[in-house]
Amino acid sequence: MVPFQSLQAYGVTVDAVCPGKKAGDACPTAVHKPIGHQTYAESKGHNFALNASFDEIDAAGYDGLVIPGGRAPEYLAMDEKVLALVRKFSDAKKPIASVCHGQLILAAAGVVRDRTCTAYPAVRPVLVAAGAKWVEADTMKKCVVDGNLVTAAAYDGHPEFISLFVKALGGSVAGADKRILFLCGDYMEDYEVMVPFQALQALGCHVDAVCPDKGPGDKCPTAIHDFEGDQTYSEKPGHDFALNASFDGVDASSYDALVIPGGRAPEYLALNEKVLSLAKGFMDKGKPVASICHGQQILAAAGVLQGRKCTAYPAVKLNVVLGGGTWLEPDPIHRCFTDGNLVTGAAWPAHPEFVAQLMALLGIKVSFA
């Protein structure tokens, strides 16, 4: 989801396909995270909606290929149609970006011989056997470039991974010398913090994430909120999000923008006077503030929505209206709105518009040759 929505936010047309499925179908995803055992643990993640059909894909119509990791590459590497598609991109020397276990597909397709690459450490034996020049990942942020091939060890490396892929596509970024603050809390929505956080880092922005009563290196558990046919969203445990700055040490004047993720965290953060003062300070100074889903509960409690036009997750309409805001219906759910310095979105499907509109306020532009 992070590369998919980040590239869309930068103005790239992105199609996602899966063998045996068509546009509108969903792929279940997995949450892989270390919890102290000898390997990572897995739990059920979001459902990822495809927007194109595998059987209708013509590689000639695309400029690059991205291969995510997880467990899917294990079986996709046995699909001859998948391998043929990868070979077409490789033969045409088009950019290919593969992360984590995705390199299993590259090995099966026979396109890594004499190529320098990395991957999740457990993939090393396969890549070495396929003739690749293996680079050990000293951290899970490790990325390697060899010509048109970009490889990464894990999702921790998304910022550099995405940045390198954008460059391989002929992209350049202007105006990204910005400092952005994320206001985090326990059980914020997984995607709603990670996608914009890594998307902005990939552009070259300095991004700090803070949480009251926590410091750099501490983690916030996240929640996966998904739409699975019930009357409201479901919730599952998400990734643990690592903070990189201290809330108590925040100097708001040193930041150019504030981002407020949704999830369940805003319910209790809206009771914290220091949080409300921080949000009010950004709004009073006219600095860009981007808030999504339930994040607007904080803005309403801070008293900064009076006379402002905004949206939110539909259940937060009451907070917005009682806070004096003018409600804008999020129809469809990926719709976002900008009112002066304020960007608001309803839920994580809105990330491409959400990030793009914040970029516009900050004067950040991505262009492709």
Catalytic residue list: 100-101, 293-294
* Sheet order of strands, 179-183 included: 206-210, 179-183, 257-260, 289-292, 342-345, 336-339
Distance CA(183)–CA(319), nearest Å, equals: 19
* Strands 26-33 vs 116-117: parallel, antiparallel or unpaired: unpaired
Q: Is residue 208 a contact partner of residue 193, using CB atoms and an 8 Å limit?
A: no
In angstroms, the CA 105 to CA 101 distance is: 8
38, burial (CB in 10 Å: exposed 0-12, middle 13-18, buried 19+) = exposed
Structure tokens at 203: 């552009």
- Token reading at 330: 């999020």
The CA distance from 297 to 125, in Å, is: 49
Distance CA 359, CA 363 (A): 6
From CA 158, how far away is CA 208, in angstroms rounded? 16
Answer for the pair 244, 209: CB distance below 8 angstroms, yes or no. Answer: yes
Using the structure block, give the residue that is written with the tokens 């310095």. 341
Angle at 262 between CA 311 and CA 326, to 5 degrees: 20
Give the SS3 label for residue 279: helix
